[in-house]
Amino acid sequence: MRFLPTPRGAEGYVAVDKPSGVAVHGPNGLLHELREKFGAGVALVHRLDKETSGVLLVAKNTEALRAALDAWPVSVTKTYRAVTRGVPVPREGVVTEKLLEHRTGKPELLKRALKAAYGPARTGHLLSGRRVGAIPQIPAPGRTAVHPAGREARTSYRVLEDRGETALVELTPETGRMHQLRVHLAHLGTPLLGDPLYDIARTPSTPAPVLHAARLVWTGPPGGAAAWTWEAAPPAAARVGP
């Protein structure tokens, strides 16, 4: 585990450069390791999918966690890099499609969203797998889909490098839905290359997905600093140039 430098005044937090393919939760997850090192009070400020590498921020105590969660919606900017199958068109833009999440640990959230949009009867049909008029099918457990019953979601993106059949894309999520970047990229028709859930052209020879949390900036944090910044150098596949 590689720790990232701590900005002055941010001693209540620890940031690590999470490797791709390493889970955050579970007996061998990063959170377990961090709690062994820093104590049981360590808590995740945000999440990264198993396939995602880069900046992962945790709070050392409840006070630090509360401050981060309060600031997250308005004062924290996260920047990612992704290698996509194909080149997004246009090369820069904002994706605003709503996302419906099917969290395996919180199935009631899906049911609540469907009831609010379609009422109890149609929700029952949708949950049983039946088609209901023109309503799109719901995502499978553990997946997210663009769906009119979903929550608001917003992702800014720009192409950093056109590689012909692939591209290096910079992404900035303005909301925090499950698999948001991966689903929004797939919606553009340029999924994360090798994504095991959303790259339908993936084959056994497809390279492992590259989705890297390159930078996290907290503007106006506690203590009077202008900003706290954590950065994790991208892997070779996520760098611009030869």
| Segment 147-173, tens digit of pLDDT | 999 999 999 999 999 999 999 999 999
CA 92 distance to own-chain centroid: 19
| Whether 207 and 87 share a structural domain | yes
| Whether 51 and 159 share a structural domain | yes
Residue after which a domain boundary falls, among 112, 142, 172: 142
Q: Could you tell me if residue 158 is inside a domain?
A: yes
Block residue for tokens 């028709």:
189
* Alpha-carbon gap, residue 195 to 208, rounded angstroms: 8
Question: Does residue 239 have a pLDDT over 90?
Answer: yes
| Whether 31 and 137 share a structural domain | no
Mean pLDDT over the full length of the chain: 96
H or E element, residue 168: strand 166-173
**pLDDT-based confidence at residue 241 (cuts at 50, 70, 90):** confident
Q: What angle do CA 15, 21, 22 make, to 5 degrees?
A: 50
| Whether 10 and 30 share a structural domain | yes
Q: Could you tell me if residue 113 is inside a domain?
A: yes
Is-catalytic flag, 70?
no
CATH number, domain of 79, equals 3.30.2350.10
Q: Which residues contact 106 (CB under 8 A, 6 or more apart)?
A: none
Residue 6 exposure: Cα atoms within 13 Å on the Cβ side:
13
Q: Could you tell me if residue 147 is inside a domain?
A: no
| Whether 74 and 132 share a structural domain | no
Question: Does residue 204 have a pLDDT over 90?
Answer: yes
pLDDT tens, residue by residue, 33-55? 999 999 999 999 999 999 899 99
Catalytic, out of 49, 70, 162, 199: 49
pLDDT for residue 123: 96
> Which residues constitute the domain of residue 129?
104-142
| Whether 17 and 126 share a structural domain | no
| Whether 184 and 201 share a structural domain | yes
pLDDT for residue 159: 98
| Whether 60 and 111 share a structural domain | no
Tokens of 92: 């820069």
pLDDT for residue 97: 98
If one compares 184 and 223, the residue with the highest pLDDT of the two is 184
| Whether 76 and 125 share a structural domain | no
pTM score, whole prediction = 0.94
pLDDT tens, residue by residue, 90-135? 999 999 999 999 999 899 999 999 999 999 999 999 999 999 999 9
pLDDT for residue 27: 82
Q: Could you tell me if residue 148 is inside a domain?
A: no
CB 87 within 8 A of CB 188: no
| Whether 75 and 15 share a structural domain | yes
Question: Does residue 16 have a pLDDT over 90?
Answer: yes
pLDDT for residue 28: 81
Q: Could you tell me if residue 117 is inside a domain?
A: yes
| Whether 125 and 41 share a structural domain | no
Under DSSP, is residue 67 helix (H, G, I), strand (E, B) or coil?
A: helix
Q: Could you tell me if residue 86 is inside a domain?
A: yes
Question: Does residue 242 have a pLDDT over 80?
Answer: no
| Whether 159 and 66 share a structural domain | yes
Q: Could you tell me if residue 157 is inside a domain?
A: yes
Question: What total of structural domains would you count in the chain?
Answer: 2
Residue after which a domain boundary falls, among 82, 113, 142: 142
Q: Which residues contact 35 (CB under 8 A, 6 or more apart)?
A: 42
Q: Could you tell me if residue 32 is inside a domain?
A: yes
* Alpha-carbon gap, residue 68 to 218, rounded angstroms: 9
Question: Does residue 193 have a pLDDT over 80?
Answer: yes
**pLDDT-based confidence at residue 1 (cuts at 50, 70, 90):** confident
